[in-house]
């Protein structure tokens, strides 16, 4: 079996994370929140107006849908937007339901129609 040798990063390896002018942003979906933290640092911890507007519009659309899902014992939770994809979580009876695929298609169509922005490609769920 090969032996793993740990070598710490030197400062030249991490400059891309520390330099506020760096164009490198690691992917958000890596589970550690690094790129989100880097993005927030570059923006002094605040999201820009266009991101806030889109996010608010998405949340409003999800709030319109919730009563219909709740009527059947389900629910939907907004998790965030990453790389133009709206991340949601299906809850209650929606989680594991055989019809959830059809519901997600309808949710995505409704969301895209209501938002009508190139900033949103679709939905991703878990």
User: Which of 29, 30, 10 is CA-nearest to residue 18?
Assistant: 10
- Residue 7 above 90 pLDDT? no
Compute φ and ψ for 80, nearest 5 degrees: 145, 180
pLDDT of the residue at 102: 82
How far apart are the C-alpha atoms of 87 and 102, rounded to whole Å?
A: 17
Share of the chain above pLDDT 70, in %: 61
pLDDT of the residue at 51: 75
DSSP H helices in the chain: 11-18, 34-42, 49-71, 100-115
pLDDT of the residue at 46: 55
- Residue 67 above 70 pLDDT? yes
Which two three-digit tokens encode residue 115? 């938002």
Read off the pLDDT of each residue in 1-18 and give the average, rounded to a whole number: 46
- Measured at the CA of 101, the angle between CA 97 and CA 107, to 5 degrees, comes to 110
- Given a contact cutoff of 8 angstroms between Cβ atoms, the answer to whether 117 and 55 are in contact is no
Predicted TM-score (pTM) of this structure? 0.60
Return mean pLDDT, the chain.
Answer: 74
Residue with the larger pLDDT of the pair 63 and 8: 63
Domains for the chain: give ranges and CATH numbers.
Answer: 11-42 (no CATH), 49-125 (3.30.300.130)
- Residue 123 above 90 pLDDT? yes
- Measured at the CA of 80, the angle between CA 76 and CA 86, to 5 degrees, comes to 75
Q: Could you read off the pLDDT of 20-59 as tens digits, one per residue?
A: 554 444 444 434 444 444 445 555 545 566 778 999 999 9
- Residue 119 above 80 pLDDT? yes
- Given a contact cutoff of 8 angstroms between Cβ atoms, the answer to whether 87 and 124 are in contact is yes
- Residue 111 above 90 pLDDT? yes
């Amino acid at each position: 079996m090969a032996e793993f040798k740990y070598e710490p990063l030197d400062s030249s390896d991490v400059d891309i994370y520390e330099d506020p002018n760096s164009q490198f942003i690691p992917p958000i979906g890596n589970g550690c929140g690094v790129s989100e933290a880097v993005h927030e640092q570059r923006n002094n911890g605040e999201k820009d107006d266009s991101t806030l507007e889109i996010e608010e519009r998405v949340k409003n659309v999800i709030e319109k849908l919730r009563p219909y899902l709740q009527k059947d014992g389900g629910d939907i939770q907004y998790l965030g937007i990453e790389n133009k994809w709206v991340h949601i979580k299906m809850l209650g009876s929606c989680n594991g339901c055989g019809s959830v695929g059809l519901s997600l298609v309808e949710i995505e169509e409704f969301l895209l129609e209501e938002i009508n922005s190139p900033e949103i490609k679709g939905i991703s769920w878990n």
